[in-house]
Amino acid sequence: MKKALFAFLIVALVAAPAFAQFKVGFVTDTGGIDDKSFNQSTWEGVLRFAKDNNLPKANYKYLQSTAEADYVPNISAFADENMNIIIASGFLFEKAITDVATNYPTRKFLIIDSSVPKPNVVSASFAEHEGSFLVGVATALKAKAARQNMVGFLGGMQFALIEKFQAGFEQGIQAALPEYKSWKRQADMSLVADDGKFTILVDYAGDFAAPDKGQAIAQKQFNKGAYIIFHAAGGTGNGMIKEAKERQQKGEEKWGVGVDKDQYADGLYGTKSAVLTSMTKRVDVAAYEVCKLTMTGKFPGGQLLTFNVANKGVGLPDKNPNLSDDIMKQVKAFEAKIASGTLKVSEIPVK
């Protein structure tokens, strides 16, 4: 018994310094570390991991990218620092991670939102279309309860990844409003039901770090009659939330739906928030879990990890003060169907 206890203490003493030397480097995209969205949420996962494992402050760092040209230099800088795991957040990093992982075959990398099939890279993907479906259900039911017939979608750049948000959002609205039988895509990208009885406006800003563009698009959609706007636009979407908040403060009921993290606090004015709900994408969980696996010698190199509704990787926040119990009950019913596989959500918007 004493020998076993002694052996355990020896292992623990050896492991503790090893864990203390563990180093994490995080490279942001152009949205910055405090984008209130994708980058910030990923960094929060790193911070939680560092706290839980008592890492010294010098052992977890981030570098901000102001342009795509910064990606390779920033990732390479962390590789030169012998970081144990280097995290890059966003599909725009695909080529940069591929290049740096090739140049530094002994370093370990995590790329979020893309797949890089290399033995020293872990890829994390998310079923954004599933979580966005649930947002669509909540949006449609909220609009219906308020007797509103127009909502909006604001995307950052129009790539397949962001179109997954659009696709799920539109399908969720359609599922929650079965009374509308015929939906048609218009030349301006909007999706219209039964010749105008319900409309989903669609706009892409062409940027993930331009809140002024996000606010301008929100102004346009709200002025057309949109009651709620869902964004999948990173920092650009913060401009939409700002516009929704300003209108609420003036007594006009307009809502924003956040993305990636719970953005309820970003819509606060007084004791109320202009953020209806958010499509939470647990990039913080992905960062935390891969850091943990790497530190414990279980780095899943070459694997693609998928986070979906079934494993709570995407969905709505636990608390939704601006949604009624009845709406949440219906959202949960759809969530159960998706989790069980009885309801399949397409990743591609209807043409």
What does the pLDDT read at residue 207? 94
Question: What is the pLDDT at residue 36?
Answer: 78
If one compares 12 and 40, the residue with the highest pLDDT of the two is 40
Comma-separated ranges of CATH 3.40.50.2300 domains in the chain: 2-127+283-307, 129-281+314-340
7's CB contacts (< 8 A; 6+ apart) are none
At the top level of CATH, the class of 2-127+283-307 is alpha beta
Residues 110 and 159 sit within 8 Å (Cβ to Cβ): no
Determine the Cα–Cα distance for residues 308 and 59; give it in Å rounded to an integer: 30
> What confidence tier does 132 reach under pLDDT thresholds 50, 70, 90?
very high
Could you tell me the pLDDT band of residue 15, with boundaries at 50, 70 and 90? Answer: very low
Q: What percent of the chain has pLDDT over 70?
A: 94
Q: Is the per-residue pLDDT at 5 higher than 50? A: no
CA distance 34 to 28: 10
Higher pLDDT, 129 or 11: 129
- pLDDT at site 37: 79
pLDDT, tens digit, 9 for 90 and up, residues 314-332: 999 999 999 999 999 999 9
- Given the candidates 3.40.50.720, 3.40.640.10, 3.40.50.2300, 3.30.360.10, the CATH classification of the domain at 129-281+314-340 is 3.40.50.2300
Whole-structure pTM value = 0.83
Mean pLDDT for the stretch of residues 292-297: 97
Q: What is the residue-averaged pLDDT of the chain? A: 94
- How much is the pLDDT for 19? 57
What does the H/E/C string look like for 241-265? Answer: HHHHHHHHHCCCCCEEEEEECCCHH
pLDDT of res. 79: 98
**What would the pLDDT profile of 195-227 be if each residue is shown by its tens digit?**
999 999 999 999 998 999 999 999 999 999 999
What is the distance between the alpha carbons of residues 272 and 276, in angstroms, rounded to a whole number? 10
Q: Where are the alpha helices (DSSP H) in the chain?
A: 2-20, 38-52, 71-80, 94-103, 128-145, 160-176, 211-224, 235-249, 283-295, 325-340
Reported confidence tier of residue 20, pLDDT bands at 50, 70, 90:
low
Which pLDDT tens digit goes with each residue over 239-290? 999 999 999 999 999 999 999 899 999 999 999 999 999 999 999 999 999 9
